């Protein structure tokens, strides 16, 4: 938890939404309570046994306060009675029995309290773990473009932050029910004495309204500031992490990052200060109103006792009940506002779970079986793609064919749309217009999971997993993470074996520096490991997106010699800026600004004297 998270929850100024409306209305707060049944269902599913046990203990505990107060009344009345009797007739036994009973109740109450706390903590931990798992599972189902949307990220962020605070909400909801039952027991006692006494409890209501008001503001602010909070997290991480330390030092970025951090966090502080002061002032005033109500009732009961209308035992029972009820009611009301608050956060949590991926199998009809082997290949028909929130088309009117068994190279300047094309092929996105056919059928007719299994892509920004070298290779086919011969053969094919050989722990060596004992690799060494993932995968279509950029000339030559051999009979796409690599492909597709320019073999394109020939000549000139 970042240090300013307390500050954030305490900050209570309202920040309007971009549309100018206040972030949360009272109605929204109340309607958020409808999330509670679903929430309770989740708790129940986490562990029916622990939930039942918890509820049972709380029910028992709810009845104890009134029982203890009643025994207290009996003790006092018995003592008064005794004191009025002649000394000779006084026997302590009945009083001692009552005291023993109260003592027993006190012990049971304490034990029940500890039992409840224990079950709360076990259930809470289990619930937090299960929810984190569900969160990860759900995030894994969502589409790539959902991750690239900043409002989605805010939702994810809020849902993530709430996994822990949900366990607090759980305890609060259960305590609320427990206290309500205790209140009901105590209320029966008060009503029997004088129903008007209940009215004095109304004095507590202003305190509740005040709490509720300030909590609402707090939620609004926290909600409205999610993007800034993400920025603060980002700044903190960028300012102090192994991944950024090198450039932060070289460019002397620390003051820049710290200034921005300070600016944002100070802004929070200022907004917080004003509200916290007002909250404290009003809180004191409302507490005074509540206390006045309590003492008015107390004076009334005392006067009744003085007039002999009630016994001393009844006086203590009533005063005790009243004090207890006041405390409980205050607790219930203020907890109500934080439960309502928690329910609002719950809304974010469920909102995240209600997000649905769009790139999924069409459940209404059976998916087309993926061809084994691919017979014709892929065909792009008028394919256009625009990124979410982007003005410009990343690809437009793209028509070409990727034949089965063919090695196709993609050539184009930075930002031409090469990676985008690959993402469309692997259905990380669907085309905005046009369609991609596989063996004559729209890619959308196949099961996306099966399609991805048949495609092995190594992106230029492949992930450097802070795992062992063996696991880093195995991510290409994680089912085979324990298949050492397969891992080693993939490593041999991608030249990663020479990298692993130098590692002190071999395939078990943790690579990357994040964890203790990790060994970092050079850019080219990482790339050899990542390339190995392509060979781990038994895919029909292999895509290497600038896989050799960091390799030295000899390694690159060797990688491609092998690539040609190892992908025989397979379809492959190579993206590279090096023409020495590109010319090894059967055909080359040249794209510019997302548009098709030309396609053909190296020789054909050179002979044509078009864009490719021009780019090739440019690069060749550089080597002369
Ligand atoms: N996630 C994204 N959201 C919005 N726009 C994007 C996104 N990814 C890429 N673009 C834009 O789409 C266009 C094509 O990008 P793409 O990554 O496909 O280019 P590329 O040909 O692979 O470039 P490079 O050779 O630099 O890798 C670029 O204008 C880029 O700015």
Interval 60-84: pLDDT, tens = 999 899 999 999 999 999 998 888 8
What does pLDDT average to over the chain?
A: 84
Gap from CA of 429 to ligand 1 centroid (Å): 13
pLDDT tens-place string over residues 134-188:
888 888 888 888 877 777 777 777 777 766 667 788 888 889 889 989 988 888 8
Handedness of CA 512, 518, 521, 527 (dihedral sign): negative
pLDDT category at 20 given cuts 50, 70, 90 is very low
ipTM, 2 decimals? 0.96
Q: Ligand 1 pocket test: pick from 143, 392, 415 the residue with the most ligand atoms within 8 Å of its Cβ.
A: 415
Cβ–ligand 1 distance for 558 under 6 Å, the answer: no
For residue 295, pLDDT over 50 is answered with yes
Cβ–ligand 1 distance for 418 under 6 Å, the answer: yes
What proportion of the chain, given as a percentage, has pLDDT over 70?
94
Q: Crossing angle, helix 48-84 and helix 35-46, to 10 degrees?
A: 100
Handedness of CA 206, 209, 212, 216 (dihedral sign): negative
pLDDT tens-place string over residues 353-394:
888 888 877 778 888 899 989 999 999 999 999 998 888 999
Q: Which pLDDT score is estimated for 226?
A: 76
Using alpha carbons, select from 463, 469, 465, 473 the residue that is nearest to residue 514. 465
Higher pLDDT, 380 or 337: 380
Q: Which pLDDT score is estimated for 9?
A: 38
Q: What is the mean pLDDT of residues 282-308?
A: 86
Q: Which pLDDT score is estimated for 27?
A: 67
For the chain, residues classed under CATH 3.40.50.300 are: 464-538
Highest mean pLDDT, choosing among 188-192, 363-367, 503-507, 543-547: 503-507
Burial (CB count within 10 angstroms: exposed 0-12, middle 13-18, buried 19+), residue 431: buried
Gap from CA of 611 to ligand 1 centroid (Å): 20
For residue 564, pLDDT over 60 is answered with yes
Question: 394-426: string of b/e by CB count within 10 Å (b at 16+)?
Answer: bbbebebbbebbbbbbbbbeeebbbbbbbbbbb
Q: What is the mean pLDDT of residues 33-43?
A: 87
What proportion of the chain, given as a percentage, has pLDDT over 90?
33
Using alpha carbons, select from 379, 427, 383 the residue that is nearest to residue 406. 379
**Separation of alpha carbons 140 and 132, rounded Å:** 12
Encoded tokens for 146:
């959902």
Ligand 1 atom 14 nearest Cα: 417
- The pTM of this model reads 0.71
Ligand 1 atom 2 nearest Cα: 387
Burial (CB count within 10 angstroms: exposed 0-12, middle 13-18, buried 19+), residue 325: buried
Residue 595, by phi and psi: left (phi above 0), alpha (psi -120 to 50) or beta? beta
Encoded tokens for 300:
């009334």
Q: Which pLDDT score is estimated for 296?
A: 85
Encoded tokens for 533:
């993932």
For residue 582, pLDDT over 70 is answered with yes
Q: Which ligand 1 atom is the nearest neighbour of the CA of 392?
A: 29
Spell out the SS3 assignment of 467-504. CEHHHHHHHHHHHHCCCHHHHHHHHHHHCHHHHHHCCC
Cβ–ligand 1 distance for 144 under 6 Å, the answer: no
Gap from CA of 394 to ligand 1 centroid (Å): 7
pLDDT category at 4 given cuts 50, 70, 90 is very low
pLDDT tens-place string over residues 115-137:
999 999 999 889 888 888 888 88
| Residue 539: strand, helix, or coil | coil
Q: How many CB atoms are closer than 10 A to CB 63?
A: 14
Gap from CA of 423 to ligand 1 centroid (Å): 11
**Separation of alpha carbons 118 and 130, rounded Å:** 18
Higher pLDDT, 378 or 351: 378
Gap from CA of 449 to ligand 1 centroid (Å): 24
Q: Which pLDDT score is estimated for 57?
A: 94
Superfamily of domain 464-538: P-loop containing nucleotide triphosphate hydrolases (3.40.50.300)
DSSP code, position 598: E
Q: Which ligand 1 atom is the nearest neighbour of the CA of 412?
A: 21
For the chain, residues classed under CATH 1.20.1560.10 are: 27-354
Query: Can you list the alpha helix ranges (DSSP code H) found in 307-417?
Result: 312-354
Look at the block and give the residue holding tokens 């691919």: 374
Q: Which ligand 1 atom is the nearest neighbour of the CA of 460?
A: 27
Q: What is the DSSP string of 220-283?
A: HHHHHTHHHHHHHHHHHHHHT-TTTHHHHHHTT-HHHHHHHHHHHHHHHHHHHHHHHHHHHHHH
For residue 11, pLDDT over 50 is answered with no
Cβ–ligand 1 distance for 417 under 6 Å, the answer: yes
Residue 512, by phi and psi: left (phi above 0), alpha (psi -120 to 50) or beta? left
For residue 570, pLDDT over 60 is answered with yes
Handedness of CA 434, 438, 441, 444 (dihedral sign): negative
**What CATH class does 27-354 carry?**
mainly alpha
Instruction: Give every CB contact of residue 439 below 8 A, 6+ residues apart in sequence.
Output: 371, 374, 375, 376, 377
* H-run or E-run covering 110: helix 93-141
Contact 594, 396 (CB under 8 A): yes
Look at the block and give the residue holding tokens 């026997």: 91
Gap from CA of 286 to ligand 1 centroid (Å): 59
Higher pLDDT, 11 or 151: 151
CA 286 vs. chain centroid, Å, equals 38
Encoded tokens for 582:
């590109």
pLDDT category at 22 given cuts 50, 70, 90 is very low
Q: Which pLDDT score is estimated for 32?
A: 76
Using alpha carbons, select from 152, 535, 601 the residue that is nearest to residue 352. 152
**Separation of alpha carbons 383 and 392, rounded Å:** 15
Q: Which of 13-27, 91-105, 211-225, 240-254 has the lowest mean pLDDT?
A: 13-27
Highest mean pLDDT, choosing among 167-171, 246-250, 309-313, 535-539: 309-313
Cβ–ligand 1 distance for 98 under 6 Å, the answer: no
Q: Which ligand 1 atom is the nearest neighbour of the CA of 594?
A: 14
Q: Which ligand 1 atom is the nearest neighbour of the CA of 417?
A: 18
Cβ–ligand 1 distance for 394 under 6 Å, the answer: yes
Gap from CA of 289 to ligand 1 centroid (Å): 63
Ligand 1 atom 25 nearest Cα: 414
pLDDT tens-place string over residues 390-417:
889 999 999 999 999 999 999 998 899 9
**Is omega for the bond preceding 373 within 30 degrees of 0, making it cis?**
yes
Q: Which pLDDT score is estimated for 554?
A: 76
Q: Which ligand 1 atom is the nearest neighbour of the CA of 410?
A: 21
Reduced DSSP (H G I as helix, E B as strand, rest coil) percent helix, strand, coil of the chain, to 5: 65, 10, 25
Q: What is the mean pLDDT of residues 603-613?
A: 92
Task: Say how many residues make up the chain.
Answer: 624
Encoded tokens for 200:
């004095």
């Amino acid at each position: 938890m970042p240090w300013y998270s307390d500050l954030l929850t305490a900050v209570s100024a309202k920040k309007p939404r971009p549309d100018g409306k206040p972030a949360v209305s009272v109605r929204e707060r109340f309607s958020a309570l409808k999330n509670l049944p679903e929430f309770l269902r989740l708790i129940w599913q986490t562990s029916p046994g622990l939930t039942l046990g918890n509820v049972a203990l709380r029910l028992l505990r709810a009845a104890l306060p009134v029982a203890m107060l009643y025994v207290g009344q009996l003790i006092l009345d018995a003592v008064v009675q005794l004191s009025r009797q002649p000394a000779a007739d006084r026997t302590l036994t009945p009083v001692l029995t009552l005291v023993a009973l109260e003592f027993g109740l006190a012990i049971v109450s304490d034990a029940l309290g500890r039992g409840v706390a224990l079950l709360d903590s076990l259930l809470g931990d289990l619930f937090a773990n299960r929810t984190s798992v569900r969160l990860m599972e759900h995030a894994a189902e969502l589409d790539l473009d959902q991750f690239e949307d900043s409002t989605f990220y805010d939702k994810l962020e809020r849902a993530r932050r709430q996994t822990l605070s949900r366990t607090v909400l759980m305890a609060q909801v259960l305590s609320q029910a427990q206290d309500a039952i205790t209140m009901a027991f105590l209320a029966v006692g008060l009503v029997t004495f004088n129903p008007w006494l209940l009215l004095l409890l109304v004095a507590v209501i202003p305190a509740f309204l005040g709490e509720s008001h300030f909590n609402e503001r707090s939620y609004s602010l926290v909600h409205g500031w999610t993007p800034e909070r993400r920025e603060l997290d980002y700044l903190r991480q960028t300012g102090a992490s192994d991944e950024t330390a090198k450039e932060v030092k070289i460019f002397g970025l620390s003051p820049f990052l710290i200034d921005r951090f300070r600016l944002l966090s100070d802004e929070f502080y200022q907004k917080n200060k004003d509200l916290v002061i007002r909250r404290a002032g009003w809180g004191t005033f409302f507490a005074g109103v509540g206390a006045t109500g309590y003492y008015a009732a107390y004076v009334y009961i005392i006067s009744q006792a003085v007039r002999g209308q009630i016994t001393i035992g009844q006086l203590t029972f009533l005063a005790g009940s009243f004090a207890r009820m006041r405390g409980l009611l205050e607790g219930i009301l203020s907890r109500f506002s934080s439960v309502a608050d928690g329910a609002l956060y719950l809304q974010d949590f469920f909102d995240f779970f209600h997000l649905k991926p769009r790139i999924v199998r069409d459940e209404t009809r059976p998916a087309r079986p993926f061809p084994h082997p691919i017979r014709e290949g892929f065909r792009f028909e008028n394919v256009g793609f625009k990124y979410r929130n982007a003005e410009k088309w990343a690809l437009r009117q793209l028509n070409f064919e990727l034949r089965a068994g063919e090695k196709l190279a993609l050539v184009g300047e930075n930002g031409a749309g090469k990676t985008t094309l690959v993402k469309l092929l692997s259905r990380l996105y669907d085309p905005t217009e046009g369609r991609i056919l596989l063996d004559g059928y729209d890619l959308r007719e196949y099961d996306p999971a099966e399609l991805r299994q048949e495609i092995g892509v190594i992106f230029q920004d492949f992930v450097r997993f802070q795992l062992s070298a063996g696991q880093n290779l195995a991510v290409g086919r994680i089912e085979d993470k324990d298949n050492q011969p397969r891992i080693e053969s993939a490593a041999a094919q991608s030249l990663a074996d020479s990298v692993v050989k130098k590692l002190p722990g071999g395939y078990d060596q943790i690579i990357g520096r994040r964890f203790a004992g990790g060994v970092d690799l050079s850019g080219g060494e990482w790339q050899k490991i990542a390339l190995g993932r392509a060979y781990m995968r038994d895919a029909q279509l292999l895509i290497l997106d600038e896989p050799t950029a960091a390799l030295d000339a000899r390694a690159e030559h060797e990688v491609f010699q092998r690539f040609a051999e190892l992908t025989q009979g397979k379809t492959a796409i190579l993206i590279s800026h090096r023409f020495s690599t590109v010319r090894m492909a059967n055909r080359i597709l040249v794209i510019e600004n997302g548009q098709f320019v030309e396609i053909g073999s190296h020789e054909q394109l050179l002979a044509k004297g078009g864009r490719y020939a021009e780019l090739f000549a440019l690069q060749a000139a550089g080597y002369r």
